[in-house]
């Protein structure tokens, strides 16, 4: 564990480019107040010169109350309408909080097709690289207003892994409502926290269940593991923990579940098919 501890501390401390992903249930509804501590943690990292990108779900969940919806809509058109309203409000809330630090956010909305084809992928990469060089904080989400079931990423964990790969990030932090990956759903008896996942570990024997609150999000433990594998294979270390612990996570505390990264290699296209 000593070597792991040093490795984690060194990776977090030396990371020059970090991607943080937060789920819908962590920053919407009764948890909307968590935007403030999340921004505090991002601003702290930004303030020490790190280039940080936020991948934030929550457009549909944020828009639902304004469409008088009590649950996530099942039909695509209403999802798109909720996203159109919610994305605007979500970015406003982030910018309002970032104003305390004099940080400007830049909205980046992507579809799976944008990262699947070379020309739009190159355009997205160039735009985000420029935003980071200008010290703007990109806030990325799937473009739910125009995305269809056939061209969706599937979940923002996968999107965050692709963004990490696109930007050659040193670290990806996946935030949910649960503090780590467990050997079985954490509410079940005998569940044990998994502190460290070596590169190539197939996590045999781990019983997967949902991570996060039901009803507004689309991700679970399986999507986070698949995203972590995609990111680590391209050279980005991954930390999975709860949104409530983001400050500690970005300071290098030994919390959550740490996934080792492969040695950095130069890769070509980005696959939009989740790893399993």
Numbered residues of the known binding site for ATP: 21, 176-177
For residues 255 and 244, the answer to whether their CB atoms sit within 8 Å is no
- Radius of gyration for the chain, computed over Cα atoms and rounded to the nearest angstrom: 17
Read off the tokens for 181.
């990956």
Q: Residue 67: left (phi > 0), alpha (psi -120 to 50), or beta?
A: alpha
For residues 57 and 24, the answer to whether their CB atoms sit within 8 Å is yes
Name, in order, each residue with C-beta under 8 angstroms of 4's C-beta and a sequence gap of 6 or more.
195, 196, 258
**Whole-angstrom Cα distance, residue 196 to residue 210?**
20
Pick out the residues of the known binding site for substrate: 57, 144, 156
Scored b (16 or more CB within 10 A) or e, 219-241 reads bbbbbbbbbbbbbbbbbbbbbbb
Read off the tokens for 149.
């079931």
Name, in order, each residue with C-beta under 8 angstroms of 133's C-beta and a sequence gap of 6 or more.
none
Measured between its terminal Cα atoms, the distance across the chain in Å is 28
3-state secondary structure (DSSP) of residue 54? strand
3-state secondary structure (DSSP) of residue 107? strand
For residues 203 and 265, the answer to whether their CB atoms sit within 8 Å is no
Pick out the residues of the known binding site: 21, 57, 144, 156, 176-177
């Amino acid at each position: 564990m000593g070597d792991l501890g040093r490795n984690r501390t060194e990776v977090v401390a030396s990371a020059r480019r970090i991607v943080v992903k937060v789920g819908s249930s962590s920053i919407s509804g009764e948890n909307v107040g968590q935007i403030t501590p999340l921004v505090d943690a991002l601003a702290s990292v930004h303030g020490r010169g790190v280039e940080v990108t936020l991948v934030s779900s929550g457009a549909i969940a944020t828009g639902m109350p304004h469409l008088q919806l009590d649950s996530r809509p099942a039909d695509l058109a209403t999802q798109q309408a909720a996203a159109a309203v919610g994305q605007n409000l979500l970015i406003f809330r982030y910018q309002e909080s970032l104003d305390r630090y004099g940080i400007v956010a830049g909205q980046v909305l992507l579809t799976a097709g944008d990262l699947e084809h070379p020309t739009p992928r190159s355009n997205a990469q160039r735009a985000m690289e420029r935003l980071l060089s200008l010290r703007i904080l990109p806030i990325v989400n799937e473009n739910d207003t125009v995305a269809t079931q056939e061209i969706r990423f599937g979940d923002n964990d996968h999107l965050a892994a692709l963004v990490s790969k696109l930007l050659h990030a040193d670290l990806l932090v996946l935030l949910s409502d649960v503090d780590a990956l467990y050997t079985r759903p954490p509410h079940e008896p005998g569940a044990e926290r998994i502190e460290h996942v070596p590169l190539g570990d197939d996590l045999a024997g781990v019983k997967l269940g949902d991570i996060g609150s039901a009803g507004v999000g689309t991700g679970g433990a399986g999507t986070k593991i698949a995203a972590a594998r995609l990111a680590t294979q391209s050279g980005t270390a991954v930390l999975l923990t709860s949104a409530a612990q983001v400050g500690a996570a970005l300071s290098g505390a030994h919390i959550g579940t740490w996934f080792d990264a492969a040695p950095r290699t130069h890769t070509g296209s980005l696959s939009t098919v989740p790893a399993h």
